[in-house]
């Protein structure tokens, strides 16, 4: 996807109450026009977040997959 679409998706996700989205930039050593500048979108959600609304937003942008839930806050203590 083009960078503008990733930014739009992240902004759209942030409109869902209890959801935050951050873009994870590609760490590729060389720039190639055919490659994406974004490696992933990291989505964080609170327990109160509307799962149905979150899924509806993601579905608007095509196929997606959920990865393992990881909490960095627990590792800091």
Asked if residue 7 belongs to a domain, the reply is: yes
| Structural domain count of the chain | 1
pTM score, two decimals? 0.75
Asked if residue 60 belongs to a domain, the reply is: yes
Asked if residue 75 belongs to a domain, the reply is: no
Reported as a pLDDT band with limits 50, 70 and 90, residue 69 is low
SS3 47: coil
Looking only at the bridges linking them, the beta strands covering 38-45 and 19-25 are antiparallel
Asked if residue 9 belongs to a domain, the reply is: yes
pLDDT tens for each residue of 23-68: 999 888 887 888 788 888 889 999 889 889 999 999 998 877 777 6
Asked if residue 15 belongs to a domain, the reply is: yes
Asked if residue 24 belongs to a domain, the reply is: yes
Task: Write down the pLDDT at residue 34.
Answer: 81
Long-range contacts: 29-37, Cβ < 8 Å, 24+?
Answer: 36/1, 36/3, 36/6, 37/3
Asked if residue 71 belongs to a domain, the reply is: no
- Which range marks the domain in which residue 29 is found? 3-65
Asked if residue 74 belongs to a domain, the reply is: no
């Amino acid at each position: 996807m083009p960078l503008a679409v990733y930014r739009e998706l992240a902004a759209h996700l942030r409109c869902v109450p209890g959801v935050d989205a951050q873009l994870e930039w590609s760490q590729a050593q060389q720039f190639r026009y055919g490659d994406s500048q974004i490696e992933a979108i990291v989505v964080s959600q609170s327990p109160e977040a509307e799962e149905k609304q979150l899924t509806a937003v993601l579905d608007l942008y095509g196929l997606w997959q959920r990865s393992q839930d990881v909490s960095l806050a627990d590792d800091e203590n």
